[in-house]
Structure 1
């Protein structure tokens, strides 16, 4: 990715107007709770915040305010549009060597061709932001950056204003006491279109047996209604505490928060190497260690789940062979165990070919057979015709990239759209030739459980 790395004395802030410039400055911040920093932005930046923590807890990102926003309403071209806009920004970057790389954070909708009216109307097919204030915790070390994207000739005054605001946010995060974050009070749980879901599973199973597809993922939604409006920090606090092994994410826009705790990495690029995870096939956790082992063995030996998993391995392997060299793929799946569910998991990695950015890989990988189906386009058409909902950003790619070309995207499952005093939760499963609608329905409840529990909902068992 092209960059202009330049020393930044104050005079750099005063070069001529009408030229796009991207300034950044980083300070060490001691110990700050990322959620306390997130909450510090509540009064002035309520709809302009994001949160990210990777699964191994080596990186946490919090963004407050918008230095700039990149959007697209395109379909296939949305990936290249965001990529081109980001490259233009990166070329305008002015930073000192020790400053952190600015990040771009956001996500893509699952299906840009979905035309159903839905609660996702404020989210375009691609939505990304560069934060004005960027907290990053890398391997335990906390830094806070300010970012300014401008064509104005008063950049020096703007930048000084950002410094003052940065210090205010840090002070709030360090000094003010956080409120006790109790779980929301759920007043009702609505199953949305259960009957349609059951019919869809049966209909898709029939089509698969007729040879029209090999696998199709069908999802459904439930709605939680709360006694009061639920804050974004409450949702993020509880999902982060309860799903320790997962990626945690949150993205705010126009009064809504899309958030979740997903076990599934789509793609990571770090220092020129790409990493992905083939995750498909699942079973519940056992009530004891012995039962857990038995269920894990059952999952590994189950032909339906192994078949589902192999579709994903084949597809991701093909993408890596196209965009990477030195590709390494495990021969056999292993178990990935998170709090409520265990999955079949196969890691893949390779060296990224020159000229390939993370958006190229995201486009090639999305949707994987674990969230769409096989063949991809036929499965997507079946999803459009059979699912009685718009998935929005559920099962889409969500994540970040930086001005050095590193980045990571996860698959946004185990997720929900929080809309003030209600939330829409999403879950699905892969339908193949021997799928049974009741078993598929039961499996969705297992997948609802992580977010349901975090939001105060309860399920029998």
Structure 2
């Protein structure tokens, strides 16, 4: 059962009822309390038992996790999605009644969500449940920050609500989550997998290199799809558990809409903001891991000195630097990259740190950074036009910003790669690679096979 100071919760609800009566509209209330340790995956599974759509986000390196259960309100934007989402969020926060005595990022009022890679690309039925831009404020949010745990209850209060009854119901609902224990269902088997038009995709790589060699672009990132048929509908909790175990140094995420769930393990941070301190990541240039320590070191050394991969990485470094310089002060970028190792792959990595100027928000940065050269290409508009016209899939939320923000001016967004869209007992997996003037279609195809591996492995492949 949630431990609250009864008078404090009731007092907050009393204030909300008065405000709702004065405005003749529902009043959003957010109440955060520090709680005992709880397994985030159990909390996630409890939400399913309660019939609630779920959201999940964790940064394994930071020992940080957010789990959202249900939805108290949505932020949905089609046109001018960055500005409109920011406007809706600021309005929501300024009018909400928030009790949060903690300064911990991810506590207080929190919204989790994401957006489409390219709103100008025609939508398909594959992504019909996912909006152009959508963020949820959950009814219940669990926050884990290292060894500390917090529970936030969000509710809309009307003038006709009764304080005692509402407080009792909120505590009862929270108790169902905090006292929940259940074993996670067994994993599924992969029955069939189909690579969507692989030879046609290789032809598209050749078409892109021709365009690049005609000096109409410098780099074009092309993605492709693998469709899976599973033995039954997988338990998302089990999928997340496997990703948490196998994909260290990654952001593990899930955004659920009924039987559709977009889930993945991405190594690529787009931007992190704590108050005004900004951190972005240049992660471009890819190689496999070695089978032995000696082989792994040799591959790393080759990657660090490979002209194609270093050039691809430098594109991203310069793009991020130029994108944020108007919004930031004291930009700090190391002179050369280091190796960022994952289970199946290793990447070139350069961190970018800066101080955000007053008057700007995390959405200003996202708007400038998305899509990075690692997901779109160079120059941006030329590569996006090619992708929009010729790519063989609707990327939907793949390759796009996903993440969270809170009412204390903290937030973090990652690039949704190494991901898949699970739909009942089927799933679509997505992988891409950067095409440059000397790209070999067969080599690029092999690279995408490696990038399919994280999601394929947790779905029985």
**Structure 2, unaligned stretches of length 5 or more?**
1-8
SS in 2 for 1:229: coil
> Which residue is equivalent to 1:72?
77
**1:23 aligned to 2:26?**
no
The match for 1:202 is 206
In structure 1, what is the Cα distance between the partners aligned to 2:248 and 2:51? 27
Q: Distance in 1 between matches of 2:158 and 2:213?
A: 59
Q: CA RMSD in A?
A: 1.7
Within 5 A, what are the aligned runs for 1:356-435?
356-435=360-439
Report the Cα distance in structure 1 between the residues aligned to 2:158 and 2:90, rounded to whole angstroms.
17
Q: CA deviation at 1:27?
A: 2.6
* Equivalent residue, structure 2, for 1:53: 58
Once superposed, which parts of structure 1, at least 4 consecutive aligned residues long, lie more than 6 Å away?
Answer: none
Contact 2:223 2:432 in 1 (8 A): yes
**Which residue of 337, 342, 348 maps to 2:341?**
337
Q: What residue number does 1:101 align with?
A: 108
Q: Is the 8 A contact 1:118 1:390 kept in 2?
A: no
Which residue of 1 is the match for residue 6 of structure 2? Answer: none
| 1:89–1:160 distance in 2 versus 1, CA, 3 Å | farther
**Cα deviations by residue, 1:19-60 (Å, 9 ceiling, x for unpaired):** 4532111233212100000000112334x1100101414310
Query: How far, CA to CA, are the matches of 1:407 and 1:320 in structure 2?
Result: 16
Distance in structure 2 (CA, Å) of the matches to 1:228 and 1:97:
42
Tell me the CA shift for residue 152 of structure 1: 4.6
Aligned partner of 2:4 in structure 1 is none
1:455 deviates by 1.0
Separation of aligned partners in 1, 2:247 and 2:295: 21
Partner of 1:121: 128
CA–CA distance in structure 2, aligned partners of residues 83 and 347 of structure 1: 26
Equivalent position SS for 1:351? strand
Q: What is the alpha-carbon distance in structure 1 between the residues aligned to residue 222 and residue 100 of structure 2?
A: 48
Tell me how many residue pairs correspond in the alignment.
445
Indicate yes or no: 2:294 matched with 1:313: no
- What is the deviation of 1:206? 0.4
* Most deviating of 347-356 and 157-166: 157-166
Residue in 1 that maps onto 2:281: 277
CA distance in 2, matches of 1:97, 1:434: 54
- TM-score (ref. length: structure 1): 0.93
Paired residue secondary structure (2:237): helix
Contact persistence 2:405–2:411 (CA under 8 A): yes
The CA deviation at 1:400 is 0.2
Query: Which residue pairs with 1:3 in the alignment?
Result: none
- Give me the whole-angstrom Cα distance separating, in 2, the residues matched to 1:448 and 1:182: 22
What secondary structure is seen at the aligned counterpart in 2 of 1:453?
helix
Quick check: 1:170 aligned with 2:178?
Answer: yes
Q: Which stretches in structure 1 are left out of the alignment for 5+ residues?
A: 1-5
* Inter-CA distance 153–81: structure 2 relative to 1 (3 Å threshold): farther
The 1-side partners of 2:74 and 2:33 are apart by 23
Give 2:84's match in structure 1, choosing from 73, 78, 81.
81
Partner of residue 241 from structure 1, selected from 228, 242, 245? 245
* TM norm structure 2: 0.93
Residue 42 in structure 1 maps to residue 48 in structure 2: yes
Equivalents in 1 of 2:81, 2:406: separation in Å? Answer: 18
Q: Which residue of 2 aligns with 1:437?
A: 441
Matched residues in 1 for 2:277 and 2:54: separation?
29
- Cα distance, 1:136 vs structure 2: 0.4
The separation in 2 between residues aligned to 1:316 and 1:410, in whole angstroms, is 14
| Alpha-carbon shift at residue 237 of structure 1 (Å) | 1.4
- Cα distance change of structure 1 residues 304 and 68 upon mapping to structure 2, 3 Å threshold: same
Which deviations, in whole Å up to 9, do the C-alpha atoms of 1:397-416 show, x marking residues without a partner? Answer: 00000001100000000000
- SS of structure 2 residue aligned to 1:56: helix
Equivalent residues of 1:54, 1:248 under 8 A apart: yes
